[in-house]
Structure 1
Amino acid sequence: MRDRQREDTPVAGNLPLELDAFVGRTAELAGLTEALGETRLVTVTGVGGVGKSRLAARAASRCAPSDGVWRVELAPVRDPACVDHAVVAALGLTDHTTRPARETLLSHLAERQLLLLLDGFEHLVDACAELVTELLCRAPGLKVLAVGRRPLSVQGEKLLPLTPLAEDEAVELFAARAALHGIQVAGDDDVRELCRRLDGIPLAVELAAGRLRALSPGQLLVRLDDRFRLLTRAGGDSPWRHRTLRTAIGWSHELCTPEERLLWARLSVFAGRFDLEAVEYVCSGHGLHADDVLDVLSELLAQSVVSREETDSGVRYRMLDTVRAYGADWLAATGDAERLRRRHRDWYLGLATWCELDWFSPRQAELAARVEAELPNLRSALEHCLSEPEEAHLGQLLAGSLWFCWAGCGRLSEGRHWLDQAVQLHSGHEQSRLKALWVLGYVAVLQGDTLAALAALHECREEAELSANPTATAYAEHRTGCLALVSDDMPRAETLLRSALARYQEIGELNSNVLMGQVELAMARAFQGDLEEAEVLCEDVHRVCEDHGERWARSYALYVLAYAAWREGDQGRARELLTDCLAAAHSFRDLLGSVLTVELLALVTATEGDAAEAAVLQGSADRMWPPVGLPLFGSAYFNAPHELCEAMTRERLGDERYEECVRAGALLDREAAVGRALRLGRPTATALEALPAPREPLRHSKVTLDMHEPAASPTRKGGETAG
């Protein structure tokens, strides 16, 4: 891992952009950067508000591991069982299998050179210490930079305690932040004394600077003196700097208007970032009118209590954990905490319900980004519901309503975590539990967990029929048909899927799930040789998707249409359809749709005459399968295109060159593989660049394979299951 890189050079990973100037800390920054070059685990410790996160992010940005710097915000995570999922999410990983999130991390990190920044772990020390120990032992190219108020206390940890700013640096920071408010201050005696009184703690200094619109430095100093005298009389056993920060935050709190203090306290119910709409719903009422929320929030922004960020899902706000914790104490003191938690739960349950309904629309990409941004708050709402017996049905409904996130946006593993918990609870609200059951069955099907899928879907079907719930009956039957499809029982799949589609029509159900049922029926017909009906079914799906702006189910319809086009000898149309299909699947982080498409693109490429490129695509698909599950479901029908492609390209290239091309493809990560398949770019230097790419048509190939009469026991090279 190189120690430094130019500060204006983008760093691979997910470090946020700095929106204001980084002031001081020259020696500390050099020391931390040096430590990262020499040690695999460095922990920055210090009191809240001392600037640990900012220093760590700046030091991390000066490192340049080949696979990037990835920051994991752990402050919003409350359940230790969710730590691994939070790291998986921060790394942007997708895993469809039943393997634990820890195994996903180990598999991803095993051969990578990467810096992992774990920020705000102090309330999860045991879980984080265990995770870091195992990751460092099994991923030799990994380095970890941990940030918290206490050490992880694991072997090999190098500690860098962070002290407050020196006086000159504190004065410089005060002046820099004052300038953001259009106020120029000099380093006069009042400013210096104020920074001394604040003990050089950056958060305290920034809170003070946020008050300059109303008070001069001298007035701030007088008010702070009063606050410190009160603290001294009160005594206390806490460390002085902890009391200094609490005093500075409390002093800033006292300077707030009643409405500002009320909003500050109520904002503490949010986990991580939040948007204005959520604030207006959750925090209004009981002394704070909804129409006034924006003005009050703007004042908290001006005072540095709240910060504003631009994200892919729009403008969002956040509070530093220290400030949030202070607000949480006040909220508890008001006796209003439980009501606010219920308001928070209601908002995010409503958000999930709205997103589920709106998924069948042109806004799918927007919704995927929105749910991604809201995951910390959705997790918090799920934890709250599933830990309260009287709210279990709301947790079941929330976990079930997020099916599009679990199945459509590459979060099957986390979805399984919540759904397994939800269905264990008997809430007395059968409809909510039935929804969680069929979604659990769906997730288990996609993970290749046949026994769990059958158990959940069978229970859902039985309970739905007993309670005369036609919607749950239809979904259970549909997903059982999907399981039959990937298990090679095409007649049963066709029977169940036709029946489920009839039920959907009878109850007036039309959404992405219903369209996927129609696509799955088309697959069953295509695999049995009826390309004509398969095309009719998918053309209808395509038309409905175009009418509604739906892209996710549409991508699977394009896959079947491309398969039919290939069978009919129209390679140009097949490639056009697959390119469109792959672009959509990749944008949703849908690994299953992506890898199926790359497999079929390899066959189309071989048929067009480019055997070397086809073998490269097969190699890239082989690398993509482990986080999806059993390659091509272990299905003879789904496997047949791969077998045919391999036979064609081996005959054209010979075994040695074929394997060489496959190995070259396996060097491509998912982004590079998809980019190559879409012809958007080529991989960086690999053995692939030396390979010639003959394009003579395979006119004389002796290989034939009847696609609707697959071999009984297909084999795959390099196709071990990761489940």
Structure 2
Amino acid sequence: MRSGPIPRRTPGNLPSDLSGFVGRAGELAELGRLLDSSRLVTVTGAGGVGKTRLVLAAARAAADAAAGPADPAQERYCDGVWLAELASVRDPALLELTLAEALGLTDHTTRPTRTVLAEHLAERRLLLVLDGFEQLVDETADLVRDLLRRSPGLRVLAAGRRPLTLDGELSWPLAPLDPEEALALLIERTSAADPAFALTEANRTALAELCARLDGLPLALELAAGRLRTLSPAQVLSRLEDRFALLTGGSRGALPRHRALRTAIGWSHELCTAGERLLWARLSVFAGQFDLDAAEYVCAGPDLPVDSVLDLVGELLGQSLLVREETAAGVRYRMLESVRIYGAGWLESLGDARRLRRRHRDWYMGLATWCELDWFSPRQEEVAALVEAELPNLRLALECCLDEPEETHLGQYLAGTLWFYWAGCGRLTEGRHWLDRTLEDGLGLAGSEYESSRLKALWVLGYVAALQGDSVASMSALYECRDGAARSENRVAGAYAVHRMGCLALVSDDMARAGELLGSALERYREAGELNSNVLMCQVELAMALAFQGDLAGALSLCREVRDICEERGERWTKAYALYVLAYAELDAGGTAEARRLLAECVAINHTFRDRVGLVLAVELLALVTVTEGHPAEAAVLQGAAEPLWDGVGMRLFGSGYFNAPRLMCQERAGELLGTERYASCARHGRALSLDGLVERALRGPEPAPAAGPLPRPRGGSDRPMARPGTSTAAGATGVKNRKPAGSPEGEPAG
């Protein structure tokens, strides 16, 4: 094992500050002091006053302090600083799930998400930042109260227009910027849009007056900065003064903050062209980010030609009404929440909101359909990133499908079409939520013209529930799908139902039945002309069933064929599972170097797609490879690092003797070679690794073992990583040939 202290970890998910933070030095210091004295601090204030920017700046300061030299005073956030953005969450059932995602938790079990959160936070010391909870204030307050009670090392920094009203909460109203800070912000933002702009004696008075008229509200100042690109400060001030007079009866006294903000947004709205105002209103139907293609489809019409949308987006960007962001899914845009709400009000007043919501839904149904097809292609990773970025909009589309009972079949289709995301990208819990909802709300659609959508949702539900270890719900959905497919003569749905029944048998250790069902499903797929990631996964699962029963030759043949097809099509997700089986066969044949190479690729792919099921299986088998190579300490580290992953994967599912065999065998071998105390120390080291740290370590491989003589041979046990349950001491099995670990001389006695 590597020597030296464990590096200080500074996990978290805070975004970088692309435009810089201006002023607020006093507020930042005060906020830090408040967090020292209270476990819950809520920064309150009107929309646009700068709550989000301030709490993010405070959070970054806390993260920087935690990353500094080891100091007991900085241990408060040793487990990181995490941001949960809640503004786009409308469904209370998704609140806890959104928080879990923000913390990087992936849980494949059927445990309540609140339980998962509480267990994760129970022994951790971290700062949780909550932003935009107003639409779910009661639910957020209940969740925060529960987590704080059960997690003594947790502190919460929240930003909202109102406090959570909890015992022990420090509610801190945020004032607008002072005159100097407001002027500095206005100049900084204007200069960013127009490098030729500068503060001069000629424009200082007008700019200072503009800051005063906007009450020092950061959002209002940024909107004004967008206008200074085309108007002089005096012109901006003149137009704004007219707007104030209209709304306040000519009063030139101090204005309420919310009115100043609404005035600034309304003034920007008035200065927009008719086309810009119309696009602004229609863009308000998006949740979170969106791209240009979506904007063109959803917003264009006879009164807004599609070829005008790009130019209009550019104009809204120039006026700071839109924000452009670079993401893993490409260039995307978003509206600040106050601006979006203003636009949504106009859309309602135009009587066009329902039509636009449906166009929005239709676009995202089409996007999901395209992504499902493109999942079986070289663009698989891009598809995963795109769906991740579009999740708030996909949620909105699913809600729209459920708004009208006669359109529930659209929700079933959409929830079913996203199977690759639910199962392949670590989103089982959310997938189960939507599948249950669409099927519950659409019970009356059985046997209707929309039966195919219902059947798809059923087999996907059966698949998701099986991976969660909920065999009762899985079997119920799959039998219903199979019977419905037979009645409607839907051969494809029937094949999927039989396939997932085989998958359920596989994870339930019924290998004979799994082989029978999976083989039948493959025949059905061939007859229907179906070929995609699901079909190839069926072939890999059949190979697993054969390997578990000792037919390595048959398993190898199937998985080599899958690997070749995946490489030809650019498919990587299913390929990772084929590599897992191939690595098992290599290890069984003594090829530890090739097994390591295959598993390293498997780990990298599963980590890319956030597939914790595949990742934990690969890490456990890699640990067995590692101890076989003669590195028991490193194997123990990997074993320890994998333990937290098992909590999210679900012990009920992987209590399987077959799937557990590599872990138990490695634990037995490494424990005998190291001794109980050192094994436990190495495992603790592994548990301290972050997920990224685990993956980096697994890919790097062990350092060369020191030349300190041969390692003793472990006593008893089986060398087969996946022996049949009931036949090994480690995995429950005996009587299988023993193979010595690397470095053990021939003939050395056991022990």
**TM-score if structure 2 supplies the norm length?**
0.89
Query: What's the counterpart of residue 33 of structure 1?
Result: 32
Structure 2 residue aligned with 1:120, among 116, 119, 132?
132
In the TM superposition, residue 11 of structure 1 has moved relative to its aligned partner by 6.8
Residue 13 of structure 1 is matched in structure 2 by 12
1:601-637 deviation per Cα after TM superposition (whole angstroms, max 9, x unaligned): 1222222222232233222223321100016622122
**Which among 592, 596, 599 is matched to residue 613 of structure 2?**
592
Deviation at 1:81, TM superposition (A): 1.5
For residues 709 and 274 of structure 1, the distance between their equivalents in structure 2, rounded to whole angstroms, comes to 50
Q: Equivalent of 1:317, from 327, 330, 333?
A: 333
1:543-562 to 2 correspondences below 5 Å: 543-562=564-583
Aligned to 2:165, what secondary structure does the other structure show?
coil
Partner of 1:184: 198
Over 3 Å counting, the alpha-carbon distance change for 1:397 and 1:713 in structure 2 is: farther
Mapped contact 2:10–2:78 kept (Cα < 8 A): no
2:71 corresponding residue in structure 1: none
- Structure 1 residue identity aligned to 2:607: H
Residue in structure 2 matched with residue 419 of structure 1 by the alignment: 435
How far residue 434 of structure 1 moved from its aligned partner, in angstroms, is: 0.9
In the other structure, the counterpart of 1:98 is 110
Aligned to 1:685: none
Q: 1:708 deviation in Å? A: 4.8
Q: Which amino acid aligns with 2:463?
A: Y
* Shift in alpha-carbon separation, 1:544–1:661, aligned structure 2, 3 A: same
What is aligned with 1:581?
Answer: 602
Number of the residue aligned with 1:662? 683
CA distance in 2, matches of 1:432, 1:56: 44
Tell me what 1:362 maps to: 378
Q: 1:699 to 1:63 in 2, by over 3 A?
A: closer
Equivalences for residues 624-643 of structure 1 within 5 A: 624-630=645-651, 633-643=654-664
Counterpart residue type for residue 101 of structure 2 = A
Q: Which amino acid aligns with 1:52?
A: K
Q: From the superposition, tell whether residues 70 and 680 of structure 1 become closer, same or farther in structure 2 (CA, over 3 Å).
A: farther
**610-619 vs 370-379, which deviates more?**
610-619
Change (3 A) 1:700 1:192: closer
- Match for residue 735 of structure 2? none
Aligned equivalent of 2:453: 432
Offset at residue 153 of structure 1 (A): 0.4
Secondary structure of 2:170's counterpart equals: strand
Match of 2:141 in 1: 129
User: Aligned pair in 2 of structure 1 residues 613, 14: CA closer, same or farther (>3 Å)?
Assistant: closer
Deviates more, 1:163-172 or 1:405-414: 163-172
**CA shift at 1:491, angstroms?**
1.1
The one-letter code matched in structure 2 to 1:658 is Y
**Which residue in the other structure is 2:170 paired with?**
158
Q: Which residue of 2 aligns with 1:200?
A: 216
Stretch moving more, 462-471 or 635-644:
635-644
Unaligned stretches of 5+ residues in structure 2: 1-7, 64-76, 733-751
Residue-by-residue CA offset, 1:336-386 (whole Å, 9 max, x unaligned): 111110111011111111111100111111111111111111111111112
2:695 pairs with 1:674: yes
The DSSP-based 3-state class of the residue aligned with 2:124 is coil
> Against the structure 1 CA distance between its residues 258 and 543, is the aligned structure 2 distance closer, same or farther, given a 3 Å change threshold?
same
1:221 Cα offset (Å): 1.9
Q: What's 1:621 paired with?
A: 642
Corresponding residue for residue 6 of structure 1? none
User: In 1, are the aligned partners of 2:717 and 2:728 still within 8 Å (CA)?
Assistant: no
CA displacement, residues 225-272 of structure 1 (integer Å, 9 cap, x when unaligned): 22122212499xx98222221111111100000000001101100101
Give the equivalent residue in structure 2 for 1:48.
47
| Structure 1: gaps of 5 or more residues | 1-8, 683-690, 718-723
Range with bigger deviation, 121-130 or 199-208:
199-208
Does structure 2 conserve the Cα–Cα contact (< 8 Å) formed by 1:399 and 1:419? yes
Is the 2:9–2:78 Cα contact (8 Å) retained in structure 1? no
Which amino acid in 2 is paired with 1:272?
G
Superposed displacement of residue 273, structure 1: 1.1
Code of the residue aligned with 1:696 in structure 2: it is P
Q: Which residue of 1 aligns with 2:406?
A: 390
State the TM-score, normalizing by the size of structure 1. 0.92
Shift of residue 702, structure 1, vs aligned partner: 3.6
Q: How many residues of Structure 1 are paired with residues of Structure 2 in the alignment?
A: 699
Answer with 141-150 or 214-223: which moved more.
214-223
Which moved further from structure 2: 487-496 or 629-638?
Answer: 629-638
Classify the secondary structure of the residue corresponding to 1:62: helix
Distance apart, 1:715 and its partner CA: 8.4
Cα offset for 1:716?
8.5
Residues 631 and 702 in structure 2, CA contact (< 8 A), matched pair in contact too: no
Separation in 1, partners of 2:358, 2:654? 42
State how far apart, in whole Å, the 1-side matches of 2:236 and 2:701 are. 58
Contact (CA 8 Å) 1:165, 1:201: kept in 2 or not?
yes
The answer to whether the Cα contact below 8 Å between 2:576 and 2:602 also exists between their aligned partners in 1 is yes
- Mapped to 2, the partners of 1:639 and 1:693 lie a distance apart of 32
Cα distance, 1:667 vs structure 2: 3.2
Provide the rounded CA distance (Å) in 1 between the counterparts of 2:379 and 2:124: 35
2:586 to 555, 565, 569: 565
Match of 2:344 in 1: 328
Query: Would the aligned equivalents of 1:675 and 1:681 in 2 still touch at CA under 8 Å?
Result: no
Which residue type is aligned with residue 407 of structure 2?
E
Instruction: Give the match's secondary structure for 1:424.
Output: helix
Q: Structure 1: how far apart are the matches of 2:483 and 2:711?
A: 55
1:626 partner SS:
helix
